[in-house]
């Protein structure tokens, strides 16, 4: 199972992910800490672990991002194998 509604923005050196039209709490209660998230930056999909879900439009990652990305695509997966297979889909 994956979730990829909306887009995300992340700033280098920050662990906060801001979403647009993401609805991580109200639309998909399955989005939770411990899940893997791929965030696209250019042609690369960067994997991060979700540490906390603060709201429909804000997540906290387990580590700080190493890049800046604005209104980019993402995938959140319950299954690490699925997320590896979907890296090319973004």
Q: Is the dihedral of CA 30, 33, 36, 38 positive or negative?
A: positive
All structural domains of the chain, each given as residue ranges with its CATH number in brackets, are 2-85 (2.40.10)
What's the pLDDT at 25? 87
Whether residue 74 contacts residue 9, with contact meaning beta carbons closer than 8 Å, is answered with no
φ, ψ for residue 86 (rounded to 5)?
A: -90, 0
Whether residue 48 contacts residue 72, with contact meaning beta carbons closer than 8 Å, is answered with no
Q: Which residues of the chain have pLDDT under 50?
A: none
What's the pLDDT at 39? 97
First to last CA, the chain: 15
CA distance 84 to 80: 6
Query: What does the pLDDT look like over 9-34, one tens digit per residue?
Result: 999 999 999 999 999 988 666 788 88
CB count, 10 Å around CB of 35? 19
């Amino acid at each position: 199972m994956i979730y990829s509604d909306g887009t995300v923005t992340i700033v280098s050196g920050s662990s906060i992910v801001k979403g647009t039209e993401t609805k991580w709490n109200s639309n998909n209660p399955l989005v939770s800490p411990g899940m893997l998230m791929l965030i696209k930056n250019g042609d690369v999909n960067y994997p991060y672990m979700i540490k906390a879900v603060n709201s429909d439009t804000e997540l906290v990652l387990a580590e700080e991002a190493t890049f800046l990305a604005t209104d980019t695509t993402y995938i959140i997966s319950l299954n690490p194998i699925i997320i590896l297979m979907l890296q090319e889909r973004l």
